[in-house]
Amino acid sequence: MPGRTERLPARARGVPLPTPGARSGGCISKGMEIKGRGAMVTTQELGRFGLFAGLSEAQLDRILALAEEKRCHAGESLFREGDPATHLYLLLKGKVAIQVQLTSRPETITTAVLSQPGQLIGWSGLVPPHHYTAAGVCQADSHLLMIEGEALRQAMERDPEMGFLLMQQIAGVISGRLRTVQ
């Protein structure tokens, strides 16, 4: 249901999900929908996305335990440039533009439009200083998997093999995005 936020039973730490209108981690404008774990995404489906290539089923299960499904409408912002990077997102369906504000003039440019299932959005949630380097804006109604950055970083520290594999994939994502901007 639009505008509804649920708590995940998997979250033993009791960290609440973002509320509508939050600055980051939730669609900034009204109409977002977040569903708790029990998502449509299975461990096998998650493992088919390039970001998670090489991870074991147990590692994928740990990642899914940190994830919520999220739906945003066209025109809604996932996060703003410069905001604390509290979450990273995996596109399941839809289209999300990555936009940066030019410092030389009051203009925003789109550096990438992501529309393929499994594409990573908001990698800044795993890379210090953990602030979004661009804005993420839904260009079409979109369905995403939202993963809490801090919880994933802690899981990566507890499982260095998983951390290494994920950071290796994220480095590839960043490199690819930089090549397309040049």
Closest to 70 in 3D by CA, of 81, 78, 62, 60: 78
| Tens-digit pLDDT string for the chain (182 aa) | 333 333 333 332 333 333 333 334 455 434 445 455 445 789 999 999 999 989 999 999 999 999 999 999 999 999 999 999 999 999 999 999 999 998 888 889 999 999 999 999 999 999 999 999 999 999 999 999 999 999 999 999 999 999 999 999 999 988 888 887 65
Q: Which residues contact 163 (CB under 8 A, 6 or more apart)?
A: 155, 156, 157
User: Whole-angstrom Cα distance, residue 72 to residue 164?
Assistant: 31
Strands, DSSP E only, in 12-86? 33-35, 67-72, 77-79
User: Whole-angstrom Cα distance, residue 40 to residue 68?
Assistant: 10
pTM of the complete model:
0.77
pLDDT of residue 145: 97
Cβ count near 42 (within 10 Å): 11
Please give the domain boundaries of the chain with CATH numbers for all domains: 33-181 (2.60.120.10)
pLDDT of residue 4: 34
Q: For 119, phi and psi rounded to 5 degrees?
A: -70, 140
What the block records as the tokens of 53 is: 């290539």
User: Whole-angstrom Cα distance, residue 73 to residue 181?
Assistant: 26
> What end-to-end distance do the CA atoms of the chain give, in Å?
41
